[in-house]
Amino acid sequence: MISGQETIIASLLDPGRYPHAAKSVRRIETHISWVLLAGRYAYKIKKAVHPDFLDFTTLEARRHYCMEELRLNKRLAPDLYLEVVPIGGTPENPILGALPAIEYAVKMRRFTARNRLDRLASKGALEAAHIDAIARKIAKFHQEIPPPPVGTRYGLDMPDTMHLAFQELRERLGEEVSDLEQEIALEYRKIEPLVKQRVEAGCVRECHGDLHLGNIALIGGDPVPFDCIEFDPKLRWIDPMNEIAFPFMDLVHSGKEDLAWRFLNAYLEITGDYGGLPLLRYFSSCRATVRGMVDAIRASQAGSGFASCRKHLALASRLLRREKPSLFITHGLPGSGKTTWAVQAAEKQRAIRIRSDVERKRLHGFAPEAKSGSGIDSGIYSGSSTREVYAFLLDKAADLLDAGFSVIVDAAFPQKRQREEFRKLAWDRGLPFSIASMQADYPALKKRISERRNDASEADLCVLERMMEKFEPLAENELEDSST
């Protein structure tokens, strides 16, 4: 069928065959599809091929997977993915939109390839605002996807995927990949109980499946993910931590490690899925390995070297390493700059940031920026609620430290006893502990609080004055652990 399809493709290179303006038609070819760029639109036609991972050999299969591609990508890129177009007529005289169909195409709106995030990263044009926006979009997407049907067992397939990946790698690189294969297998044995626990808990979702930077484009200032995996449900019905491991890994690989940690923290602040973090090393290492495999296959086909492949494999090994974690807490009045410092420090220290204002709202069922209607020392800000929040922060910090992640707890910590609980947490584990104490004069605090918009903190000037009454400065022994 490929020969007949090639005739269709050659015929569709004529701009006159399109029902809209097109000065010329450009063809892009991959191993499983052709994309025809005609005027403002792109038409993606699937090849009648049957590699190990898919089967597009029948017309009905190609129609089905075109419909799946449209359905899946409409979730994140509704303005890009327009419709599935039947192609009638004959291979020599194909007619778009005609029936009976001899082929099908996914019609998409074109965008500028130079605005893909991988291109922006390579030019140094990828900004923190872009990262925050994509984190918000993916977090919301994951929260809105329904859980899998009862009885499905998706989410347990990564070891099989890695077995196939290492078979491909061994054919090209021999036994030099054996150590990495063993490292990844060992990591999976460590996390396997949590993987299964999250599958049983229904954490798996029908995700994008292939969320690397090259599959996200900045369109009108908005990052838009496209090109979801349509051909194999096992590759998209995955743990969300597996999904975000891909852009995390890709940012690290692009030399943007600070933005990788910014992305991770922005995503976690919205979803609260700190319990999935012990899976991040494994999934990000697997993502790097699979990209290395793809690099190796392309290098073999082009007759070039394996430098890019080995770079990904070296990253896969590094992503599995555990460094000695540290615990940081903040200390300061509302408006003193705690969160600004914590966001920047999390990027530099490669740490997980937990913010009390956000977790307090989450514990009581409020969105981060929602108003709770609580008064001073009442409602979600009562003494009992505050104790609950700090106990929660302590438990989360303990779990993350034990999983090998450095932690920044972004909270006021107005009382010495609160700070001592966290100091003890770190000392009991033999880990470094630091207090970042934020200082600002009263006029500056008032100005910053009055200028806040769309923030999780509900502190106003009355709260500021109330906190100033009971705020305990750092004791002499705490000053040794603090920076201001």
**What pLDDT score was predicted for residue 64?**
98
Q: Predicted confidence band at 108 (pLDDT cuts at 50, 70, 90)?
A: very high
> Which of 333, 351, 342 minimizes the C-alpha distance to 426?
351
Structure tokens at 27: 């063809």
> Which of 269, 313, 364 minimizes the C-alpha distance to 165?
313
In this predicted structure, the answer to whether residue 480 has a pLDDT above a threshold of 80 is: no
- Which H or E run includes 86? strand 81-89
> Which of 115, 168, 126, 339 minimizes the C-alpha distance to 252?
126
Query: What domains can be seen in the chain, in order of their start residue?
Result: 2-110 (3.30.200), 117-319 (3.90.1200.10), 327-483 (3.40.50.300)
Q: CA torsion sign, 93 to 3 to 28 to 85?
A: positive
Q: Predicted confidence band at 482 (pLDDT cuts at 50, 70, 90)?
A: low
Q: Predicted confidence band at 1 (pLDDT cuts at 50, 70, 90)?
A: low
Phi and psi (nearest 5°) for 410?
Answer: -95, 95
pTM for this model (two decimals) = 0.95
Rounded distance, CA 465 to CA 481, Å?
Answer: 27
Structure tokens at 318: 């590094």
Q: What is the mean pLDDT of residues 440-450?
A: 91
- Regarding predicted confidence, which is higher, 311 or 483? 311
Rounded distance, CA 473 to CA 7, Å?
Answer: 78
Q: Predicted confidence band at 150 (pLDDT cuts at 50, 70, 90)?
A: confident
Residues 6+ apart with CB under 8 A from 314: none
For the chain, the first-to-last Cα distance in angstroms comes to 70
What is the average pLDDT score of the chain? Answer: 95
Q: What is the pLDDT of residues 181-229, one digit of tens each?
A: 999 999 999 999 999 999 999 999 999 999 999 999 999 999 999 999 9
Q: Does 15 sit behind a cis peptide bond, omega within 30 degrees of 0 on the bond before it?
A: no
Phi and psi (nearest 5°) for 206?
Answer: -80, 90
Q: What is the pLDDT of residues 340-353, one digit of tens each?
A: 999 999 999 999 99
Q: Predicted confidence band at 254 (pLDDT cuts at 50, 70, 90)?
A: very high
Q: What is the pLDDT of residues 270-280, one digit of tens each?
A: 999 999 999 99
Q: What is the pLDDT of residues 278-314, one digit of tens each?
A: 999 999 999 999 999 999 988 988 888 899 999 999 9
